[in-house]
Structure 1
Amino acid sequence: MKVKDPSILNAVTLAYVGDGAYEILIRKHLVESGIVRPNQLQKTATQYVSAKAQAALITRMQDENVLTEQELAIFMRGRNAKSHTKAKNTSTATYHLSTGFEAVFGFLSLSYQDSRVVELTNWCIEKVESGANNEYRFR
């Protein structure tokens, strides 16, 4: 069943889908780059997929005007969404930013904008791997 208009879905639902969509691309990237040991995969993946990393990446996306107006609106809905889940190992503010990040990926995935998902994921990979995201670290 195809979702007719993902933009009307609950932002937490978008984030749920976006979490998986983004993470699978990161996992594929890590394995394709030669990391195959499970412990190393998990440790390396957190540089990309943790709430702290996602909060830093979405903040940088905003600063560099990477997002379209529609993506920015989806991000804000996700950031402001009321979730019944508590932040683990991070601040509530960081958790909300990462929920917004994931909502963008969920929206793009559910609207079959696969090339944009890949484009944004590649942008994130480049920022993490170049160390350019270090100045945006969150606690």
Structure 2
Amino acid sequence: MDKLFLSDVNPRELPSLTLAFIGDSVYELLVREYLLSSGKRQVGELNKEKVKIVCCSSQTVAYEKIKDMLTEEEEGVFRRGRNVQVNSVPRNSTLKDYHTATGFEALFGYLYLSGRTERVKELFAVIVSSDGNE
């Protein structure tokens, strides 16, 4: 999970929504790898499970599982992402869940762009170990 093109990007200088943009992809890739490792092989089944895990409400649950593990710096990144003004919210999400999911994705984007992929994996392991999903 190495950066291919962004070696000189300083994540502290990026807007929270940009961090969330990257973090969304990082988290989705982790979920896809996790699901593939579970033995399911039908793409339709994999995709259905993935959609359940990466939705805003599931990301809110995931955040609740890791929030007590976060450092002060990580919590600050999360809060910055959570507090971003948004103009619209997906139909199947509450405003609170959408804000929490944005903060969650910003955190994963920040850690990834900071080169802290072991920390990303550590947090993800806690998320999936709690109940086998999200």
Which TM-score bucket, shorter chain as reference? 0.7 to 0.9
Query: How many percent of aligned residue pairs carry the same amino acid?
Result: 34
Structure 2 residue aligned with 1:72, among 72, 75, 79?
Answer: 75
Query: How many residue pairs end up in the alignment?
Result: 129
| TM-score normalized by the length of structure 1 | 0.84
Gaps of 5+ in 1: 134-139
Q: What SS class does the counterpart of residue 23 from structure 1 fall into?
A: helix
Mapping of residues 16-31 of structure 1, within 5 Å: 16-31=21-36
Structure 1 stretches of at least 4 aligned residues deviating more than 2 Å after TM superposition = 1-5, 59-62, 83-88
Q: Mark the runs of 5 or more structure 2 residues left unpaired by the alignment.
A: 1-5
Aligned amino acid, residue 132 of structure 2? E
Matched-pair contact (CA < 8 Å) for 1:47–1:128: no
Alpha-carbon RMSD across the aligned residues, in angstroms, is 1.7
> Counterpart in 1 of 2:91?
88
Q: Deviations over 1:48-103 (max 9, x none)?
A: 211100011112322xx111111100000000012344223011111000000000
TM-score by length of 2: 0.87
Is 1:53 matched with 2:69? no
Query: Match of 1:105?
Result: 108
